[in-house]
Amino acid sequence: MLSRALPARIAPAVDEAVADAWRALWISRLLVWASAVAAVALFGLSDRAADFDPAGLTTPYGATGDALAAPLGRWDSVWFMAIAEEGYGGGAREAFFPLYPMLVRIVGAPLGSVLVGGALASAALLGVALVLLHRLVALDHERAVARNAVLVTALFPMSFFCSAVYSESLFLALSIGAVYAARRERWAWAGALGLLAATTRSAGVLLLVPLAMIYLWDVGRPSLRTMRPLRPDALWLGLVPLGLLGYCGFLALGGHDPLAPFNAQEVWFRSFAGPFAGAWDGVVAAVQGTRQLLSGAREPVYFTAAGGDPFVVARHNIELLVWLVLALVAVAGVLRRLPAAYGAYVVAALALPLSYPVGPQPLMSLPRFVAVLFPLAIWLALWMTGRAARERLVVGAFAIGLAIYSAIFATWHWVA
């Protein structure tokens, strides 16, 4: 099996992994920062910015400092920073799992700023995630594939979240680290990293799927005939769900509802609609949005579940459907070309947002969820490596998309 021959291949890849990850990190973060600062300077902020950050947590440095810090904190960053400074106080804060806010508090304390501390932690963790991804890919493929996997992850149009005060980088590093540890049969590490991922967001518990499959079949196809016997070290995988249970227990001990992380989703109108039913809801919303735009009029409103400008709603829903289609193409590629455990993971991870859609915007946040599904990046790297035209197309499109979305995010306009 592949994992049996790993040690001889790991050592030479270390320097390559760090070099390729560092290059992708600084290029992508410079692009994010330059695009965001330029957008704020040219267009200013949305008139509604103060509505989403009434305490001014994202703007503590004055006009010039706030412009320079524009890509660091927007939207959910306010929730993470509030938890880091004040803890959980009821309301909807319990929807945000505790490991990342705890890290923001620790890093931000000596700097006197949870905004800067959180952003630095996110950027550093993105670097860690890229190194781990490179090493994971290098177990099965040549350096060019690993390098491209790292590059498309760093340049992914939604990767600006990975250097903002968001938990994406932490979750990405922990999920890749857990799978990498499993591939090397370091089951204690795999279970511990999975536990931490499940303390970062609820989707972390789904890492149990690929970890168990790697334990039983390595990178082969699942079947009863090839299943490896269970050993005592399988118990380490039981740590993964303890991350979720531990957070619920922590809330209960603090006098809060232990199910608050799930009940709080109602604040964002997210509810169970059936397995993958959100995909159909997204199609309906996009079709109605297309009708709205083609009509050239705001009345009548075709998609009545959402408020606000029906043209803006229409554009968002159409855009999100495009993201879903692209994601499904990538998922099909993963299922066809990558280990079964990787395919099972992306299907399970997408099942969450697609089964719990948001009524006014069924595919809300889907591009952000896709950004941390690293098997998709591995498949894309395989698809493009060795084909110069494909490499130029993907890298160019991703870089342009990252610049545009960074600008939209920094000016307090909704992205995902």
Query: Is 292 a domain residue?
Result: no
The share of the chain scoring above pLDDT 70, in percent, equals 96
* For residue 189, pLDDT beyond 80: yes
Q: Which two tokens stand for residue 368?
A: 């952000």
Query: Is 287 a domain residue?
Result: no
Give the H or E element holding residue 309.
none
Q: Per-residue pLDDT averaged across 10-21, rounded?
A: 75
CA atoms within 13 A on the CB side of 318: 14
Q: How far apart (Å, rounded) are the C-alpha atoms in residues 364 and 350?
A: 12
What single letter denotes the amino acid at residue 88? Y
Query: Is 369 a domain residue?
Result: no
What confidence score (pLDDT) does residue 349 get? 96
Which residue's structure tokens are 């009434």? 54
Q: How far apart (Å, rounded) are the C-alpha atoms in residues 311 and 295?
A: 10
* For residue 32, pLDDT beyond 60: yes
- Beta pairing partners, 358: 270, 361
Q: How many CB atoms lie within 10 A of CB 273?
A: 18
Residue ranges making up the domain that contains 124? 2-271+376-410
Query: Is 11 a domain residue?
Result: yes
174 close to 196: Cβ distance less than 8 angstroms: yes
* For residue 382, pLDDT beyond 90: yes
CA torsion sign for 240, 242, 245, 247 is negative
Query: DSSP letter string over 247-308?
Result: HHHHHHHTTS-TTHHHHGGGGGTB---STTHHHHHHHHHHHHHHHHHHHTSSSS-S-TTS-S
What confidence score (pLDDT) does residue 282 get? 95
Q: Label residue 90 by pLDDT band (50, 70, 90).
A: low
3-state SS string over 186-224?
CHHHHHHHHHHHHCCCHHHHHHHHHHHHHHHHCCCCCCC
Instruction: Kindly tell me the number of DSSP H helices and DSSP E strands found in the chain.
Output: 18, 0
Q: Based on the number of CB atoms within 10 Å of its own CB, is 307 exposed (0-12), middle (13-18) or buried (19 or more)?
A: exposed
Q: How far apart (Å, rounded) are the C-alpha atoms in residues 194 and 171?
A: 10
Q: How far apart (Å, rounded) are the C-alpha atoms in residues 349 and 400?
A: 27
Q: How far apart (Å, rounded) are the C-alpha atoms in residues 115 and 103?
A: 12
What confidence score (pLDDT) does residue 91 get? 66
pLDDT digits (tens, 9 = 90+) for 241-252: 999 999 989 888
* For residue 121, pLDDT beyond 70: yes
| pTM for this entry | 0.92
Q: Label residue 14 by pLDDT band (50, 70, 90).
A: low
Q: Which two tokens stand for residue 16?
A: 């390559």
Query: Is 66 a domain residue?
Result: yes
Q: How far apart (Å, rounded) are the C-alpha atoms in residues 414 and 408?
A: 7
* For residue 3, pLDDT beyond 70: no
For the chain, the domain total comes to: 1
φ/ψ of 270, rounded to 5, equals -95, 125
